[in-house]
Every structure is written in structure tokens, then in C-alpha cells.
Structure 1
Amino acid sequence: MFSFFKKKSDPKSELKKILKGYELPSFPAVVMQILQKIRSPYSSASSIAESLALDPGISVKLLRIANSAAFSPTKRVENLTQAIALVGISQLESLVLGV
């Protein structure tokens, strides 16, 4: 009868109970390596491509973007170094971060 007047629990504490023991996944080491190379002023497109080759998912996405109508390449882009040069570092970084 008086359950209506009971104090409701704090949403933050409820969330803590739900998420207790759950850890958010960290970035894979390959992604961190790619980001380091992208952000380094001393990295070349070929050195970034070497790291990208370790992650097939990002590599395929990059090649799809490079060959899309948005970039309208004169001939098909078939390697990662060409794709990086065509798409650019800032677009690549957004792709790697999933933005």
C-alpha cells in the first residue's frame, strides 16, 4: 500500500550495478599502431599502408572509398598506398576511428 512512497533508487547506482564487472573493449593494437603512424610527421604513405595491411576490414573500407565516385579515380585503385594518397590522411584517420 505504501510502496508508492518508497524512495526510488538512484539511476547512477542502478547503472553501476548493471555494468559491474563489464569492461569496455580497448582499441586493438593494430588500430593504435595505425593511428600512431597517421599522426607521426615522419610516416610515409607506404609505412602507413604496411600497418593498414594488418587490418583487412579497414583496408577494404579504404579501397572502397578510394574507388568510389566521390574520389573518381581515373583508374582503379588497387593498393593501399595509392588509396592513402587519394583519400588523404584526415579522411583515413576518420575511417580508422570509425567516425
Structure 2
Amino acid sequence: MAHQNGALYQEREFLHEVGSSLNAALFIVDRLTEEIKEEEGRLEIDVETEKLFHHLATYLNKIDLMVKSRRTHLSELLDEELRIERARRKSSNTTATP
């Protein structure tokens, strides 16, 4: 049980790190988009470039939502495991008490 909880905690932390990295990537995409728009004099903004940035941001958002969903699912599993363990302990304490 402890090993399983440890694995769930590690998985949840990993997903948190991935989510943080995705948020940073989304921020960078937003900043790059703004920079390109501000640099109109030096860079040509073509529709294709904007589409590519939009698609990149869309897929990064999709991955971010998947990670958040998975992290929530793992948290629910961990909470359920903890609830079961507490109930088991309470039950064993009740039966052990004369």
C-alpha cells in the first residue's frame, strides 16, 4: 500500500512538473506571437505563420488539459486509497479493542 501511494504521489508530482512546463511553453508562444505582431516593420506576418502559432498553442492547451485531467484522476485514486486505509485502520482498532 505504501509503495502504491508513493508511486501515485510520484506520478502526480511528475504530471505537475509537466503541466508547469506546458504553461511556460504556452506563455512563450503568447510572447512570440506578440513579438511578431510588434515587429511588423522588420518581420512579415503571414497568415501561415499565425496559423502555425495558433495550432501550436491549441495542441499545447490540449496536452495541458490532458495532464490536468490525469492529475485529478490520480488525486482521486490516491484519496480513495487513503480513505480505504483509514477505514481499515479504524476497523482493526475497533475489533482489537475489548
TM bin (shorter chain): under 0.3
Q: Which has the higher contact order (CA 8 A, sep 6+)?
A: 2
Q: Which has the higher helix share?
A: 2
Q: Structure 1-normalised TM-score?
A: 0.25
Q: TM-score, normalised to structure 2's length?
A: 0.26
